[in-house]
Structure 1
Amino acid sequence: MTEFIPPGTRYHALPDGFAMKRGGRLDGARIAFETWGELNAARDNAVLIVTGLSPDAHAAANAGNSEPGWWEAMLGPGKPIDSQRWFVICVNSLGSCKGSTGPASIHPVTREPYRLDFPELSIEDGADAAAHVVRGLGIERLACVIGNSMGGMTALALLIRHPGLARAHINISGAARALPFSIAIRSLQREAIRLDPHWYQGRYDERSYPEAGMRMARKLGVITYRSALEWDGRFGRVRLDSDRADEEPFGLEFEVESYLEGHARRFVRRFDPNCYLYLSRSMDWFDLGDYARGDDGAGPADTRAGLARIRLEKALAIGVHTDILFPLQQQQEIAEGLAAGGADAEFLPLPSPQGHDAFLVDIARFGPAVAGFLAKL
């Protein structure tokens, strides 16, 4: 059970008795975060970034850590999210293993890792924790909250549960609910981990670790993060050189297999399996339509009606045509739903060939869109 915390990480303590949406409470919990830029005298230039499942709070190099971050090309002086204008906060998700309290963290009473004793985790819990960080920094209202992938869900949960906390929102390859295809993929990922004989009902350690299950889970994820168009253009049917081929029966034969294997092996010991399970399931449970049910909780979920309950000045929902995990119609649904609530909302479909992960790599397309929106605030 290991946490993977980048240098320069800062922490915000959550109040004891932090209530979780599905029951249970946390004592002594914390949220990891990093910042860029300066908060102005009016405290109205703050931008919050909430992330996907696996990133830490180190989105870009800063004074606390000069190493490039996971969104280095997007955030910094003169970049699309310009830290010379904005005070930028990036939080690591509650339930993660990158500094925030999660299943890999030490329970304050037992002094052992929480493991599966961690309370059931919802997207809303991450949203509430992020709101605590914002208010703890003395910020009453954000200029904008930016959410990527799972972070798009977290941002919407924050906006509906904490009305007035943000003026504007950029939702990037996000969703207001989980669709059956993405639920099915994540279910298979979790099954791969749980069926690994070394998972031990979450009681693994560094010596006996569910490596095979994590490798398979990561490979399934990477396949859905990119598009068939990119796989074809990048790898085609190129075979491995004879000295790189796997001599095991039915072993690695193609370049694309080798890429997936290398990617998976770099990931498995850098992310805690139990944290992966908890965060993955939290996405499957999320549907903003739950907030449009009757006061008694009865009636069907209405996602668009849930979106219309959010009050914003401006919003931008960006997606790509090749995203199979959070398909383009989900970003369109977000824009239309927020517009129904009175926001000046725009839907921007981009033609990137790089699938769900395009926002991480196709900065030439995403950068101008984000910069143009922020310039109007």
Structure 2
Amino acid sequence: MTEFIPPGTRFVDLPSPFPMKRGGALVGARLAYETWGELNGAGDNAVLILPGLSPNAHAARNAGNPAEGWWEGMLGPGKSIDTNRWFVLCVNPLGSCKGSTGAASPHPDDGAPYRLRFPDLSIEDGADAAAHLVRTLRITRLDTVIGNSMGGMSALALLLRHPGITRRHINISGSARSLPFSIAIRSLQREAIRLDPRWAEGQYTEASYPESGMRMARKLGVVTYRSAMEWDGRFGRVKFDAECREDDPFGPEFEVERYLEGHAQRFVRQFDPNAYLYLSRSMDWFDAADYAPGATRGDGGDEDAKVVAALATVKLEKALAIGVHTDILFPLQQQEQIAEGFRAGGVDSRFLPLPSPQGHDAFLVDLARFGPAVRDFLDAA
């Protein structure tokens, strides 16, 4: 059980106890974050970034940590999110293992890791923690909230639960609820971890870590993060091993298999399995339809209409929902629905579909397309 906290990470203490949406509370919890740029005198140039499941708060290099960040090409002086102009905050999601309190963090009662004693985690809990950070830094109102992937869900929860917290919003490859395909993939990922004997009902150790389960979970994820078009163009049917090895007759032969294995090996010892389970399930549970006026869970009716009705209650000046044609995990219609919901409430809301071949991960790698879209939106302040 290890936390992976990059140098330069800053922390804000959450209210204690910190109530969780699905019951229970955290005592002595904290949220990890990093900042770039300076808050101006009017306090109206703050941009909050809410990332996906696995990133830490280190989106780009800064004075506290000169290492390259996970969104280095997007964030910095003169870049699309220009830190000469904007005061930027990026949080590590609550429940993670990269600084924010999660299943790998010490329990206040005995100092041992929470493990499965951690309360049920919801997307809303992470949104409430981010709102507390904004208030603690005395930011009266954010200029923009940017949410990527799971962070797009967190951003919607933030807007729904904390009205008026921001003027504008960019939702990138996010969704207002998980579709059955996404739920199915994440269910298989969690099952791969839980069926690894070394998971041991969450009681694994550094010496006995569920590596096989985490490898399989990561491989399943990576397959859905990119598109079939990219897999074909990048790898084709190229083999790295001309023949099957006699000692491993069904082992990997193709370059795409080696690529997946490399990704998995880099991930498994850098993320806590229990934290992965909690965060993954929180995405399946989130449903903006719960916030539709008069909505009651399970009361039937048009669920998509409820999502639109819920988002129509959000008060914003302007919004942009960006998606990618080749994204199978958060398909394009989900970003279109977000823009539609905001527009139904009178928000100046735009939907931007991009033709990137790189699937769900395009916002991390296809900056030639995403960068100008984000820059143009922010520059229009």
1:252 aligned to 2:252?
yes
SS at match of 1:147: strand
* Superposed counterparts of 1:110-121, under 5 Å: 110-121=110-121
Cα 1:294/1:64, change in 2 over 3 Å:
same
Does the aligned pair in 2 maintain the 1:239–1:255 contact within 8 Å? yes
% of aligned pairs identical? 74
Render the CA deviation track for 1:26-67: whole Å, top value 9, x for unaligned: 010000000000000010000000000000000000010000
Within a 5 Å distance, the mapping from 1:188-337 to structure 2 comes to 188-242=188-242, 247-292=247-292, 294=294, 299-300=299-300, 301=303, 302-337=306-341
Helix, strand or coil at the partner of 2:198: coil
How far is 1:241 from its partner? Answer: 3.8
| Equivalent in the alignment of 1:29 | 29
CA drift of 1:215 comes to 0.2
1:146 has 2:150 as partner: no
What CA distance in whole angstroms lies between the structure 2 residues aligned with 1:67 and 1:137?
Answer: 25
Q: Deviations over 1:293-323 (max 9, x none)?
A: 5276673451111111111000000000000
Q: Which residue of 2 aligns with 1:82?
A: 82
Distance 1:181 1:246 in 2: 37
- In the TM superposition, what is the alpha-carbon distance from 1:246 to its structure 2 partner? 8.9
User: Does the residue aligned with 1:275 lie in a helix, a strand or coil?
Assistant: helix
Structure 2: gaps of 5 or more residues: none
Question: Given residue 59 of structure 1, which amino acid in structure 2 is its aligned partner?
Answer: A
8 Å contact 2:328–2:360 — kept in the other structure? yes
- How many Å apart are 1:247 and its aligned residue? 4.8
TM-score by length of 2: 0.97
- 1:339 is matched by which residue type in structure 2? R
Tell me the TM-score normalized by structure 1: 0.98
Deviation of 1:77 (Å): 0.2
Match of 2:51 in 1: 51
Residue 363 of structure 1 deviates from its aligned partner by 0.3
Measure the CA separation in 2 of the matches of 1:244 and 1:51: 41
**What are the Cα deviations for residues 321-362 of structure 1, in whole angstroms up to 9, with x where unaligned?**
000000000000000001111110000000000000000000
Change in 2 beyond 3 A, CA 1:234/1:245:
farther
Unaligned runs of 5+ in 1: none
2:378 is the counterpart of 1:374 = yes
Residue of structure 2 aligned with 1:360, choices 364, 368, 377: 364
Q: Distance in 1 between matches of 2:357 and 2:70?
A: 20
Summarize the alignment of residues 333-344 of structure 1 with structure 2, pairs less than 5 Å apart.
Answer: 333-344=337-348
1:63 partner amino acid: A
Which residue of structure 1 lines up, in the alignment, with residue 349 of structure 2?
A: 345
**CA shift for structure 1 position 277:** 0.2
Secondary structure at the aligned position of 2:299 is classed as coil
Cα distance 1:214–1:39, how it changes in 2: closer, same or farther (>3 A)? same
1:18 equivalent to 2:24? Answer no
2:91 aligned partner: 91
Distance 1:243 1:66 in 2: 44
Change in 2 beyond 3 A, CA 1:294/1:368: same
